[in-house]
Structure 1
Amino acid sequence: MYTRPVNRSIIDELSEHVTLRMSSYLEQAHDGKWIEHKSHSDYDLWFITAGSVKITIHGMEHIAAPGDVVFFYPDMPYTASATGELCQFIYMHFDFSISEQRRILEQFQLSGIVPGKRICEETALFISSYQRLKHGSVASGSPLYLKATLLLVISKILELHGQGLYNGEFLKDGQRNKTEGNLGVLQGVFQYVDANLHRPIRVHELASIAGVSEKYFISLFKKTLGITPGQYMNQIKMNRARDYLYEKKYTIQQIAGFLGYPDPFTFSKAFKKVYHVPPSKFE
């Protein structure tokens, strides 16, 4: 199987299947004697607010300064310590899933120290939201708002990675955790689907693109993305349908043809199942 570079746009395409769950969060301050040897079962972000933190992973030392964001993958052993008299940070443990795939972010090289100058606006919103929640009443602090700002931070890290402006340094390619499935193997499949939405696509075609048997492809796809190939193709068609409708340049019959539906009725039925309104009333 040939593995292509992973394109982060798949998370945008499947954003409606994304689930973000915050498990715990707290602000911590440590003196110069602090040292910690740990790993966590979920994703972990540290927002450095004062002092500097030295993080050692696989014998390599990394320094996180105020404003930086530290991104740990699940089950990643590390040693952390203060570099001066004091360090302070807010940590956030969370799960990020696409449908049933809880380790999707590990398909990207994100684990490392995100420079504060690259993510300062998003970090400021998160820290402000955390402080409001910690010190205020229900009226001034909201877990939902904190979750929204966390998603903004994660989205920004993915954006920086996609633009080539950030690449995590904690794990090199040979050390990366192996999740079930491999998103890189499916890059050609995603491109093929996008180029052939105007006609019916058979699963055996996609298996051939990935270079595996049809039976293995179905299993690989589900393990990698948490959804079936059929669910994926339907979601992509609905994404494109929504975009076409927003353009207000095409008739429903034309859009049905663009997306490989035999007639406007079949398209409208599929569209309504996802968006709960017919395409003629979509705004």
Structure 2
Amino acid sequence: MNKQTTDMGILNELSELITLRMKSYLALEHDGSWIEHRSHIDYDLWFIQDGTIAITINGIEHQAHAGDVVFFYPNIPYKATTADKQGCRFTYAHFDFEIGKQQRILNDFPLSGVVPHELVRAEVEWFTHACARASRSKTSMPGNLLYLKACLTAVVARIIELHGEGVYTGAFVNGSPTTAASGSLELLQPVFQHIDQHLHQPIRMNELAALIGISDKYFITSFKKALGITPGQYIYQIRMNRARDYLNEKKYTIQQIAALLGYPDPFTFSKAFKKYYQVAPSRFE
């Protein structure tokens, strides 16, 4: 399994813990003389509707055309200008994307850049239509903003998926340091692999820390900074994911699943499962 696939797999494993908070959105129009120098404090997507925008980051110019999506990471300075006299029109959305206390989890992946319209056409249409409906409402109809947030989530998820498939890699900060987690998902890859391969056994913190050559105490701190949750919470989440999958397969008894996931007996497993899913494994559907 290559590093890129492994990295994307983390977001799949922890999808239930991910929170996307849409902070603001607005349609903007600029004439041919527009120029902007700034950086954003959060994640920012621009949905280009008309014209061409030239975006310069670290001395490199990138162009975004109608239909493209521009993905900015927090605290990355840029210059944006209209690339022709006709001006430009786009809608922006500011948002946070976090797991636990880690609000910059996406910074560990090279997603920031210009996403070509042909790769996200359907998702962009959903978002722009939802944005237009929400903007027309003097007082938003029930569900409008929730649907808009769902459409924004679909756009971000599609960009993540494209990177996981090897179809898209952002060029804005490729190879440059970002203000991501103090820990590193790349550093933790041996830990993720070890956990996945040893779920049937008790997993100790000193074993995991030794895999990357740091102390137990620093390992727990580093893991939480990188991923937003503790190693124990991560292991619990992975076990509950696997338990759900095993139950859906309907091939294993509760006792067998408990053994496959490293629980000493079916009672301990059932208690952990019910705490997470609010239903006993014997009644899970």
TM-score normalised by length of structure 2: 0.95
Superposition deviation, residue 177 in structure 1: 3.3
Contact map agreement 2:51 2:88 (CA 8 A) in 1: yes
* In 1, Cα distance between equivalents of 2:107 and 2:128: 25
Given that 1:134 and 1:141 are in contact with CA atoms closer than 8 Å, whether structure 2 keeps it comes out as: no
Q: Contact 1:43/1:74 (CA < 8 Å) preserved in 2?
A: yes
How far, CA to CA, are the matches of 1:220 and 1:202 in structure 2? 16
Question: Is 2:67 aligned against 1:74?
Answer: no
- Root-mean-square deviation (CA, aligned residues, Å) is 1.3
Gaps of 5+ in 1: none
Q: Which residue of 1 aligns with 2:95?
A: 94
Preserved contact between residue 104 and residue 180 of structure 2 (Cα < 8 Å): no
Alpha-carbon deviation of 1:141? 6.2
* Secondary structure, counterpart of 1:184 in structure 2: coil
* Amino acid of the structure 1 residue aligned with 2:12: D
2:35 — aligned with what? 35
Q: CA deviation at 1:8?
A: 1.2
* Alignment partners' CA distance in 2, 1:215 and 1:116: 46
Which residue number corresponds to residue 55 of structure 1?
A: 55
Q: Deviations over 1:82-128 (max 9, x none)?
A: 11212111100000000100010000001100111011111111111
Aligned to 2:15: 15
Q: Secondary structure at the match of 2:257?
A: helix
- Number of equivalences: 280
Counterpart CA distance in 2 for 1:41 and 1:260 is: 42
Structure 1 stretches of 4+ with a deviation exceeding 3 A read: 136-141, 174-178
Question: What are the equivalent positions in structure 2 for 1:262-277 lying under 5 Å apart?
Answer: 262-277=264-279
Any idea what the Cα deviations from partners look like across 1:192-245, whole Å, max 9, x if unmatched?
101000010101111111221211111100111111110100000000000111
Deviations for 1:143-184, whole angstroms, at most 9, x for unmatched residues? 110111111111111111111111110112134334311111
Contiguous gaps of at least 5 residues in structure 2:
none
Identity %: 57
| CA deviation after TM superposition for structure 1 residue 22, in Å | 1.0
Shift of residue 7, structure 1, vs aligned partner: 1.2
Offset of 1:140 from its aligned partner? 7.8
